[in-house]
Structure 1
Amino acid sequence: MNRAPTRGFEEDVGARTTHHLMYPESAVNLDNDTNLVLIPYKTQDLQWLISAFTTGTIKHKLRFEANCEAVYKKANQRLHCLRKLSSFHIDRKMLTMFYRCFIESVISFCLVSWFSNLPLKNKNSLNQIVRWASRLIGEPHLNLETLYTRQLQRLVGYIKDGSHPLHGEFQPLPPGRRFKMPAGNTKSTYQPVMSRIKANREKVQIFSPTFMKYTKDNWMDKHGRYPSTGFFSLLFALHICDEVSVFGYGADKHGNWHHYFEDNVGNGFRKTGVHGGEHEYNMMVRLNATNKIRMFS
């Protein structure tokens, strides 16, 4: 995670999948086989992810043209496969299934985040993919405007469902037609970040904000402003791995961390009081005591 190296610290266990968790301030270049997992602490982190693979400059107008072009290219490539299947006279239901799984899922992913700010030219290019697919299949399919509206309507369900993790995140402003903007600073970062990053863009993943909220609400017991990257990484591993071993985890009561790759024992670590370091460490000790994880110093 973050700027921690893996080369020289790993042990060959046969087939493996490597996930590297980071946020913009801790970004490093990765090899082609490693999954980049972005932890979006703020809205600007998502803007950075797009810019780091495209222009290298964060555009605060949030028009998302570069993202649209990338989505269009990917969908157009998969449209070629749909043409081939159609030429083989595949059943219409199978063609529809392929379209929804491999094309519609691509052009509608996180649609509510970027579609409304697209210029008309970009919207038309994406809808052209839908029209071409509809002709190949032989029946009409939902355009992007309809898919976008459907995703927005899910907000109503979140607001009414008190048990939903995102229920408390939507607070209406008087007279109830708009929602309150979440508090946060997206104008600057606490240190310079890489404008571009080398990594496999096909292996980019985004840490779910819902899972981040779950971690804070259910594991932190109101300690710290938000969990550390290390603790997020630990819970991420617990949810996807059969066995979890951790190395170099440890913090004092101020949240000052020691890392396995740094020779900084006893010389005043960087203060990270925004995290509940002592509480996180105690939680890891409890997990170790119950054999949920194995801790190594």
Structure 2
Amino acid sequence: MKLKEKALIVLLCVTAICVSWRGYRPCSLPQDKSPCACERCLSEDDLWFMKRFNKSVEPFLSANYNLSEDVFNWWKRLQSEKGNFSTFRQTVDRLFLTVPPSPDLLESSPDRCRTCAVVGNSVNLRRSHYGPLIDFHDVIIRVNTGRIKGYEADVGTRTTHRVMYPESSMDLDNTTHLVLAPFKTVDFEWLIINKTLEIHKFAPGLMSWFIKIGLKPNSDSQQVMVLNPAFMRYVHDMWLEKKGKYPSTGFLALILALHMCDEVSVFGYGADSDGNWSHYWEKLNNKRLKTGPHPGDTEYRMIQELDDLQELRFYTGF
């Protein structure tokens, strides 16, 4: 048998095997399997991105996570925390007696495309008509008291996760995960009380005390997740290069989405045309409204950079 004929027979055999293995899909040379089923997954090839993105960081606290004292000392300076490390650890231990010991997350898979919409509160959402596009995503993360009623055409109707701290809390239904962004030990106490007492009925004194110090009672949602102070430091150090005092809740939510999903879309971030950082549901009276301790301009430039690198899609509004 001639050499060419032998080579043709071998090629036909290989093709037949490929067809049988792949269910009659075109055969190709072996390649690394994509980590997700999206058109484009978060890239591990971009050096700029991978210099900042750390897969090993755990975004959420869990019962088995041991926060280092070094991270605690960084965290306690954010809002002049007065408790010591021992008090903090005891409080967190009590917290996980009332909330699930670990968060329920949708794991990555080559057969799955996890899509996230992160919805900020910028006035740039007004008249954007992004609502249907936002609702199309699997995970929809909103921030603090971002409103829906009356703004559905621009912001959508669904919420799966809401990142907030007690001073900006709101009632949640039982389909929405509360993602607590803690900045002090009393924030954990707030969550413990909410999970163990119906304070409106049985502890009016506690309710008055919370209101006095600026913490609003929240409805008892069983779906609770707590941002890890180590994750908050990672966002500040790696993504913001230590600019500003600490990241905004909105920017924490955005980096959280990069760790939770394969495709991330971002809506409602940035100042208005006059440079004011106002909310889409408010009439702006203070024409000098800036971002306080948050490095708003740095955060915005980082979002633009991620969009330029196609690591996320940034919808700026109209």
* TM score, norm. by length of structure 1: 0.48
Which structure: greater helix fraction? 1
* TM score, norm. by length of structure 2: 0.45
Flag the structure with larger Rg: 2
